[in-house]
Chain A
Amino acid sequence: MLKTLASYITFDLLALEHGSRLGAALEFFIYDTIKIFLLLFVIIFVISVIRSYFPPEKTRRILSHKKEFRGNILAALLGIVTPFCSCSAVPLFIGFVEAGIPLGVTFSFLISSPMVNEVAVVLLWGMFGWKIAAIYLGTGLFVAVLAGLIIGKLKLEKWVEEYVYTFHSGSSHEIMKQAFKERLEHAKWNTVDILKRVWLFVVLAIGIGGFIHGYVPQDFLTHYAGNENPFAVPIAVAVGVPLYSNAAGVIPIVYALMEKGLSTGTVLAFMMAVTALSLPEMIILRKVLKLPLLAVFVGIMAITITAVGYLFNAIL
């Protein structure tokens, strides 16, 4: 049905010639745009409703008596459904420590939250198919669990700023109740708000797919980061770590890299490095973590992401 609509707009409304290159590109562009925006709308809405049931206070309560490993897995999963603005990383971190949640489990949460993001997953799904989206989701969770476990095992509690441990917020925070209708209302509002912020990136990404397709010289990047180069993955991660963008912003770049023939593992590793680690987040986390712990965190993330990249290049 969407296909019919796209071809109607292209060939009837705009009266482009059948079989022309521009017509085909435009038809593809219109079809993909409608499809991806429909997906985005539905998924963001559903996730927003689910999120309204998992405020950080509740997540903290769920995690407070969990041991490592099970706790790490749960924390990574909760990272997806707990709404969380990067600016609340500090109160959240302190609150988690105060509730006795192990350091590694707290990290699993902090890692999965920005990386495994509904907009990223939907865009990957719409543009590269559900398999790539599922792989990203799965590996994102895996990286969050693994990095959290390693940090936990290293016993780095001494590198958390002392004041975090002596902190007493005093009151247990109550969770605000919401009627179901109110949750839907909120979710709708939030969906529109997110779409307003990301639509340009999405259109850009689809545009790259539709129009630049086939016109980009392939040699340059594939020469340096293509399949033959054994260092492709670490190079992609090294480039990705200092870069920062939200998941939507990185998708046009991801599309372009895929087009240029970079292998899937390399591109996914790049995307994870961009979304999971960012300078603004480091600056915020520096308020609760001493420099060595911050460095260990970045190091472990870079290594884990690189490993995942190699793994996928090997099996895909």
Chain B
Amino acid sequence: MRTPFTIRLLDSMPRGGWIALALFALLAWVWVPVAHLVLPAEHALHIPAYWVSLIGKILCYMVVAVAMDLIWGYAGILSLGHGLFFALGGYAFGMYLMRGIGRDGSYQSDLPDFMVFLDWKELPWFWMGSDSFVWALFLAMAVPGVVAFVFGWFAFRSRIKGVYFSIITQALTYAAMLLFFRNETGFGGNNGFTDFKRILGYPITAPETRVVLFALSALALIGTLLLARYLVGSKFGRVLTAIRDSESRVMFIGYNPLWYKLFVWTLSAMLCAVAGALYVPQVGIINPSEMSVGNSIEIAIWVAVGGRGTLIGPVIGAFLVNLAKSWFTVSFPEYWLFFLGTLFIVATLYLPQGVVGLWARLRAGRRRGEGAAAGTTTAAAAKGAGA
């Protein structure tokens, strides 16, 4: 007897999860558009542009956090280079936005301003077709996907694991950052891409465009969560966690971990790329600093704070940390990194399962089931810390 796919998807999440997801969809697709576009600015419930952009940006970060949780929380692979895939997605879509400026740039040229500045006469070959929206979307997914696949193939085939893998991913994103900083690379050097004017012909700063981008980001998050929930509930997900816990056993029962890791690694990178492509039109800029080592580490912190291996935890973690960041960088900009570091240490030492684990522990404590629940959380945490 085969269970239909839709039923299995429905079964992959408890009812509470579906209700929460439906509420979220309602908020993102009905309430935010109405509150931003329909309600007048002086209305108490009006949502100003600042908040729509900020939350829209955080929605993209949440997608990245879920993608990170798939490989770190479930497969035990800590990537400290996920910012690279995010940035590559952003750059690929940014090329389209740059072409969309047309002759409205400072030099009134068909070429993007930075190329005129470099005295280039025509577009480099890799900019071919970048005026097409569809091609840009394809590139935004395909380029990070191919980079991840090739890198992962070599790394996983050589059985590079644990901290070595993390360090190599960090070096990878750092190298890419240096490459993109060069003007000759053809991606605007350290200024990157900015001053976007329109997307599919619509003005990019118009409230309607902003709301559509926001709604699309929410859609990306919902889609990512559903996909991830299905994956971790499938046999594939059980093999992944088995690889995390005892890779050699997995090999000796006949699975080749290479393809499992490579699949989830490439998928994770492509999800980051989608988030990057949605992020760039909302913040209006992409530059090589997105590939900095710190950005990638921050992604790991979101996941650690929220709770590894829970999917919803990273979403919460990304939200909390980024909200704190927006507040800190305005009020006490010089202390933000200290706060972030402290947060990471506290989360690692006292919240091995993050906010979600804390919540579960509090509930378990109230129900006096303390022994068993705490035992499994610490066991799982010890495992994760070793990975």
Same complex: no
A contact residues vs B (CB 8 Å cutoff):
none
B contact residues vs A (CB 8 Å cutoff):
none
